[in-house]
Amino acid sequence: MRTLLRGGQILDGAGAPAYRGDVRLNGDKIEAVGALSPLPDEQVIDVSGCVVCPAFVDMHRHMDARPLLGDDMAVELRQGIATTAVGNCGFSLAPYGGAFAAEKRENDAPILGRYPESFRFQFPEYLNALEHSAPGMNLAALIGLGAVRISLTGFSDAPLSSSALNAARGMLQDALDAGAAGISAGIMYLPEYYTTRDEYRAMLAPLRGTGKPLVTHIRGEGDGLVASVREVIEIAREAECPLEISHFKSCGKQNWRKEIFRAIDEIEAARAHGQDVTVDFYPYTGGSTALTTMLPPAFVKGDMAAALKALGTREGVDEFRALSRLRYDGWDNYALTLGWERIIVSGVCREHNRKFCGLTVTDAAQKFGFDDAEALAAYLMYDEAGQTSIINLSMHPDDVDAVARLPYASVISDALYADSDTPHPRKFGAMPRLWTDFVRARHVLAPEEAIRKMTRMPAERLGLKGRGTLAAGGFADVLAFEPDAFRDCATYSSPTRPAQGVRALYINGQARILSDALTGAPSGRLIRP
């Protein structure tokens, strides 16, 4: 059956200026774009007054388990998202199993949310499960180095043995052969923080010659930003692979409005020498992660389970407090660079701890009678077994704007899926926020450039052929939204309000939203680049 989206302002995703035209869908493909007349028996959808563009591609959402849990993906669809990538920041659901399965599941919870213990997959099995899940949107998947390392040695800080390195390389090769879109790293996170350059060189060998990217959370986004950017550029150069620097930003008040420009200089020097380096960002000044990222590696000592247990003792709290007040080389201590007063508790697992959500750690400690912020943070990590999510108000708007203007910067949400009523608002509104704030309100980006950053750029980076542009022969992932009504409604104080203003959303030629209402059956697919 053919469908004609008629009379819209077309932004093709490639960066061309808008023009009035029509888009014809035939099955799961775009048949034609331009000035078109209706055909007999063709369904005609009036999209006059709407922007018509490729449906959005969000290459960074931590929803690895959600398709397997029957999520209807309404949160994503209402933002105009048709395609996402999972497995970012070294956190991928697979590989999962073996001796360290329980530790991995607890470590994943603030990022991926809680998932059944039965989800024991190697990565090719995980892809097969996604393929058979009838997802509500298109999915691509990265395999995370952190997940690989945990599956082999847990949270140990010891160097990987030759047999462990061989096993890791085999897992990564199998994943890429099965259709992983690339490999993700989370160098900031434990245990990947302990990985050496030689270990990265060995593990990333399967990427060489594939064209698939290393997508990485860098080691430090605060005082160590420039050195961390230089580090991943060198790692990718040695691996001979494209590099995507995830949620590129500068954190810490002392670094605002200066360090981001030094980091950009490093990237542009690499690009000038022919290296394929790109970045992405989310359109907010606050980030989101797990509270355990506030644990100094000197406290963890390669044993996360023991560290969390120690936080339930007076001696452990005292040690954590003392170590949290020191500066470190090679690790960003946000307790110092931001302060506990800029860390918001956003997600917990246990009902009796819900009272802390929505409050800063400092305010919550004062309100509920804890000695200080460190005492509350220690209590939450101990009582929640490390499964607490936070929002860190870490960035300056000028730095975010500077990254947004980079021609090689695409847009992500970095949405976390911890069980929470107070998530970061980017989960519900990242894509429309770019349009509402960066295009309409402040004119940071031209409309055609903003759309390119949400469509063609991420699709090309992930190797998603036939997606991200409006062109005959491409897949029929098409969005029509009302430019004055399309907006994010989620805020830090009301973070779960859904986006508004989608006139029509088609995924693989099937209507999923018409006139801001969900419709039709799930039509997403697993994409194996």
527 occurs within a structural domain: no
Give the mean pLDDT of 5-19: 97
- Provide the H-helix boundaries in 389-497: 397-404, 426-433, 447-454, 456-461
Out of 348, 366, 393, a domain closes at 393
Out of 355, 370, 393, a domain closes at 393
Tell whether the model's pLDDT for residue 421 goes beyond 90. no
How many structural domains does the chain have?
A: 3
129 lies in the same domain as 253:
yes
* pLDDT tens figures, 55-64: 999 999 999 9
The confidence band for 493, taking pLDDT boundaries of 50, 70 and 90, is confident
110 lies in the same domain as 182:
yes
CATH number at residue 40: 2.30.40.10
251 lies in the same domain as 301:
no
Which domain does 509 fall in, by range?
A: 2-54+470-486+494-518
409 lies in the same domain as 454:
yes
Q: Are 486 and 475 in contact (CB under 8 A)?
A: no
28 lies in the same domain as 84:
no
Q: Are 471 and 23 in contact (CB under 8 A)?
A: no
Rounded to 10 deg, the angle between the 397-404 and 259-272 helix axes is 20
Q: Are 404 and 419 in contact (CB under 8 A)?
A: no
526 occurs within a structural domain: no
Lowest-confidence range among 334-338, 370-374, 474-478?
A: 334-338
| Cα–Cα dist 498/411, whole Å | 19
Tell whether the model's pLDDT for residue 249 goes beyond 90. yes
263 lies in the same domain as 119:
yes
Q: Are 251 and 337 in contact (CB under 8 A)?
A: yes
76 lies in the same domain as 23:
no
524 occurs within a structural domain: no
| Cα–Cα dist 304/292, whole Å | 9
422 lies in the same domain as 433:
yes
In this prediction the pTM is 0.94
| Cα–Cα dist 302/280, whole Å | 30
106 lies in the same domain as 207:
yes
Q: Which of 69, 198, 228, 203 is nearest to 146 (CA)?
A: 203
Burial class (CB in 10 A: 0-12, 13-18, 19+), 227: middle
Q: Which of 225, 266, 525 is nearest to 394 (CA)?
A: 225
| Cα–Cα dist 408/277, whole Å | 8
The confidence band for 82, taking pLDDT boundaries of 50, 70 and 90, is very high
* pLDDT tens figures, 273-288: 999 999 999 999 999 9
83 lies in the same domain as 225:
yes
| Cα–Cα dist 484/325, whole Å | 47
The confidence band for 83, taking pLDDT boundaries of 50, 70 and 90, is very high
pLDDT, residue 337, reads 87
126 occurs within a structural domain: yes
528 occurs within a structural domain: no
The confidence band for 507, taking pLDDT boundaries of 50, 70 and 90, is very high
523 occurs within a structural domain: no
216 lies in the same domain as 237:
yes
